[in-house]
Amino acid sequence: MNKLFLVFTLVVAASPAFAQDALADWTQMLKQDLRATKKEVVTKGMVTFTDEEAKRFWPIYDAYNTELGNFVDARVALIAAYAEDYDNMTDAKANDMLTRRLSIEKQRALLDEKYRPKFATALSPRRLVRFYQIEHQLDLLIELQASAAVPKMKWW
């Protein structure tokens, strides 16, 4: 993921007008990269899974991750829309985007609550907290990478 972030940041910094086209390509690369590495990151972050934990955890995680993909897509699409409309945004459009953002966050929280008891069947409370910490860190990384496409504010 770090390689994709670096390449994307360099492209955006070199040519802000190119950012919109790059965002679509980057989003696809990010999804592929996440699919390929997310389990590895979770595994390393959890340090060790017993055979019994792994047998119970990974099927729940796969189902969770499938549903989670919808929220990643929605957030990236919203960030892309914001970047695209940044210069010509009306108050109504800004309010709509904020409403969508808050709705996405609420739905994401509901997903975590839906899966919490399921994960609790596979992990101890301490391990469950660790898992959600790792998920939160990955979520922040995705948000940071996607937000790189938003035009920078001029403070002077």
Q: Where are the alpha helices (DSSP H) in 15-148?
A: 19-45, 51-85, 91-120, 125-147
Is residue 20 situated within a structural domain? Answer: yes
Contact 93, 85 (CB under 8 A): yes
Is residue 156 situated within a structural domain? Answer: no
- The amino acid at residue 57 is F
Please state, in angstroms and rounded to a whole number, the distance separating the CA atoms of residues 63 and 140.
Answer: 21
CA nearest neighbour of 71 among 114, 7, 41: 114
Quick one: what percent of the chain has pLDDT higher than 70? 70
- Domain count of the fold of the chain: 1
Is residue 61 situated within a structural domain? Answer: yes
Is residue 153 situated within a structural domain? Answer: no
Is residue 76 situated within a structural domain? Answer: yes
More confident residue, 65 or 31: 65
Is residue 152 situated within a structural domain? Answer: no
The model carries a pTM of 0.70
Q: What is the pLDDT of residues 134-154, one digit of tens each?
A: 998 888 887 777 667 566 654
Is residue 116 situated within a structural domain? Answer: yes
Range of the domain at 42: 2-147
Please state, in angstroms and rounded to a whole number, the distance separating the CA atoms of residues 51 and 122.
Answer: 11
Is residue 115 situated within a structural domain? Answer: yes
Q: What is the pLDDT of residues 84-135, one digit of tens each?
A: 888 888 999 999 999 999 999 999 999 999 999 999 999 999 999 999 999 9
Contact 156, 19 (CB under 8 A): no
